[in-house]
């Protein structure tokens, strides 16, 4: 009895010693920091982002045999460029305030010693947090803030993968011009937008881009968000009967517009909804059946079966328990893999080497989760290949219909509605 116990203890000790030795020999951990809104107004988005990060780290650390066939970083066993170092995500809460964002960024840099940062969803927080990273000289990747001036600050450590508002406007412009060339009528265009910052700024970016590109916006209908009734606006549209209507609205208004247009029995030939409320699962679930053929934009579309995007989407559904990747979570996950790829190529966690590797990033579309033309940064740190897909609502699901090269379904016009 005594003997067996002693043997067991010895064996145990040997195992532990061996385990430690193995750990010390081969592995090291690469910490990547992420500062996202885990509480406050955007907590839901932040928590979906957190799941995307955890899934990304899991893919690199533990691998996925199916995905590994087309996606080299999914082989498992950590980052090959760093002798199999595992990735550890250190996620902090920015509480939706620029102050907390900057404070947490400082903590991740100085206490957690992260090799790089991915941050912060809200543009306002990205401003203060990236300023801290810039002062410390730590690579900082932003995956989803669209404020144009973020890349105009002369920062050396700032990289942004997402397209900005002007890119979305350009996408609509090219899309509509293509329709015009194909013989569709796009002569009169109306923009209906909610009248605070979001609606006003997007609306002016779109109309500027259209005017420069040779399409003119013939009417603008601003309205107060979350109002009880949008009949006056829809009647105004019905009277002028434009060929194309572009909506910039939050969820509740999006639902109201869809209902009211059906009640008043009016629809344009092309109905575009700029992301926002019309992409919310609450909208597609409730209003999908009466908005068949609605056009929107998203950087994410499931893509063809067997593609990186489709397989990541399936993994994400498993992670979240049903919710697939969407416009935001796809951008977040893409940001994560851009950073992981750069650290892997740098073969080091030294900031200057990671920065150099980020600058040299050149990812091809077939390696991407988001529907960009690639990832390649200019001198300001903006991804010059960032672009968006035009999607269309079919049977309550958005599918990619433009550009043709990445379309999974044919475009169906005119707008069907109900």
Partner 1 sequence: MNARRIVPLALLVLALIYPVLTMESAVYQRMGALVLLAAIGASAWNIVGGYAGQVSVGHAVFFGIGAYSSVVAFVHVGLPPIVGAPLGVAVSVGLAALIGVPTLRLSGHYFSMATIAVGELVRVMVSTSDFLGGAQGLGGPPMPRTVLDLSFLSAMPYYYIFLVVLGVVLGVTWGIERGRMGFYLRAIKDSERAARSLGVSAGRYKLYAYMLSAGFASVAGSLYLCMFGFIDPESGFGILLSVKMVVMAALGGAGQLFGPLVGALILVPLEELSNSYLGGQGAGITYVVYGAIIVMIARFLPSGLLSLFERKPAPVKPTEPTSAAEGGHAD
128-145: b or e for each residue (b if 16 or more CB lie within 10 Å)? bbbbbbbeeebbbbbbbb
- Which residue of 68, 131, 165, 225 would you call a contact of partner 1, by CB under 8 A? 131
**In terms of CB distance, is 203 or 391 closer to partner 1?**
203
Instruction: Give Cβ neighbours of residue 167 (< 8 Å, ≥ 6 apart).
Output: 386, 387, 388
Which of 52, 55, 60, 100 is the binder for partner 1 (CB under 8 A)? 100
Which among 214, 215, 157 has a CA at the least distance from the CA of 189?
A: 215
Task: Please classify residue 201 by burial: count the beta carbons closer than 10 Å to its beta carbon, then call 0-12 exposed, 13-18 middle and 19+ buried.
Answer: middle
Query: Which of 55, 60, 73, 91 touches partner 1 (CB under 8 A)?
Result: 91
Q: Count the site residues for partner 1 by CB under 8 A.
A: 40
In this chain, which stretch among 132-140, 159-167, 223-231, 269-277 interacts with partner 1, using CB under 8 A? 132-140
Contacts of 315 (CB under 8 A, 6+ apart): 55, 59, 64, 67
Considering only CA atoms, give the Rg of the chain. Answer: 24
Q: CA quadruple 133, 134, 139, 144: dihedral positive or negative?
A: positive
107 touching partner 1, by CB under 8 A: yes
Residues 85, 27: contact at Cβ < 8 Å?
yes
The nearest distance, CB 308 to partner 1, in angstroms, is 27
Residue 13 CA neighbour count, 13 Å, CB half = 6
Check if the beta carbon of residue 338 is closer than 8 Å to that of residue 60: no
Segment 44 to 73, residues that bind partner 1, using CB under 8 A: 46-47, 50
Among 42, 45, 104, 260, binds partner 1 (CB under 8 A): 104
Q: Which of 142, 168, 167 is nearest to 155 (CA)?
A: 142
Instruction: Tell me which stretch binds partner 1 (CB under 8 A): 57-65, 105-113, 286-294, 352-360.
Output: 105-113
111 binds partner 1 (CB under 8 A): yes
**Contact region for partner 1 (CB under 8 A) — 23-31, 87-95, 161-169, 395-403?**
87-95
Shortest distance, position 36 Cβ to partner 1, whole Å: 8
Q: Which residue is it, tokens 């990060």?
A: 53
Does residue 88 interact with partner 1 by CB under 8 A? no
Distance CA 57, CA 46 (A): 17
By CB under 8 A, residue 38 contacts partner 1: yes
Nearer Cβ to partner 1, position 53 or 372? 53
Tell me if 73 sits within 8 A of 60, measured CB to CB: yes
Give the strand order in the sheet containing 116-119.
Answer: 86-93, 29-36, 116-119, 140-142, 158-160
The residue among 243 and 274 lying less far from partner 1, judged by its C-beta, is 274
379 is a site residue for partner 1 (CB under 8 A): no
Quote the least distance from Cβ 98 to partner 1, whole Å: 5
Considering only residues 28, 61, 80, 93, which one is a binding residue for partner 1 as defined by CB under 8 A?
93
Site for partner 1 in 168-227 (CB under 8 A): 196-198, 200-201
Residues forming contacts to partner 1 in the complex (CB under 8 A) are 38-39, 43, 46-47, 50, 90-93, 95, 97-100, 102-104, 106-107, 110-111, 123-124, 127-128, 131, 134-136, 147, 149, 153-155, 196-198, 200-201
């Amino acid at each position: 009895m005594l003997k067996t116990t002693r043997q067991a203890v010895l064996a145990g000790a040997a195992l532990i010693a061996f385990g430690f030795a193995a750990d010390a020999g081969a592995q090291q951990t690469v910490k990547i920091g992420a500062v996202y809104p885990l509480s406050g107004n955007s907590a839901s988005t932040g928590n979906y982002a957190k799941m995307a990060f955890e899934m990304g780290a899991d893919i690199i650390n533990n691998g996925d045999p199916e995905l590994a066939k087309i996606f080299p970083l999914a082989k498992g066993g950590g980052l090959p460029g760093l002798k199999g170092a595992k990735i550890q995500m250190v996620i902090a809460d920015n509480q939706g305030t620029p102050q907390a964002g900057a404070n947490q960024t400082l903590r991740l840099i100085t206490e957690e010693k992260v090799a790089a940062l991915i941050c912060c969803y809200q543009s306002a927080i990205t401003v203060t947090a990236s300023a801290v990273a810039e002062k410390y000289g730590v690579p900082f990747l932003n995956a989803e803030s669209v404020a144009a001036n973020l890349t105009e600050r002369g920062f050396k450590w700032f990289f942004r993968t997402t397209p900005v508002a002007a890119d979305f406007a350009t996408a609509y412009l090219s899309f509509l011009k293509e329709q015009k060339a194909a013989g569709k009528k796009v002569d009169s265009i109306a923009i209906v937008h909610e009248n605070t910052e979001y609606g006003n700024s997007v609306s002016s970016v779109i109309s500027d881009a259209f005017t420069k590109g040779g399409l003119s916006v013939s009417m603008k209908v601003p309205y107060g968000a979350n109002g009880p009734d949008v009949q006056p606006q829809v009647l105004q549209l019905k009277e002028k009967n434009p060929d194309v209507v572009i909506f910039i609205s939050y969820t509740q208004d999006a639902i109201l517009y869809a209902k009211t247009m059906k009640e008043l029995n009016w629809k344009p030939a092309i109905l575009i909804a700029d992301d926002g409320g019309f992409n919310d699962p609450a909208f597609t679930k409730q209003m999908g059946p009466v908005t068949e053929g609605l056009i929107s934009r998203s950087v994410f579309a499931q893509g063809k079966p067997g593609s990186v995007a489709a397989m990541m989407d399936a993994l994400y559904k498993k992670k979240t328990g049903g919710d697939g990747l969407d416009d935001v979570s796809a951008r977040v996950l893409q940001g994560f893999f851009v950073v992981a790829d750069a650290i892997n190529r740098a073969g080091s966690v030294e900031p200057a080497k990671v920065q150099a590797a980020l600058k040299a990033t050149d990812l091809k579309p077939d390696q991407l989760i988001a529907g960009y033309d690639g990832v390649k940064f200019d001198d300001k740190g903006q991804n010059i290949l960032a672009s968006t897909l035009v999607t269309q609502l079919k049977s309550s699901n958005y599918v990619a219909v433009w550009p043709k090269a990445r379309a999974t379904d044919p475009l169906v016009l005119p707008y069907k509605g109900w």
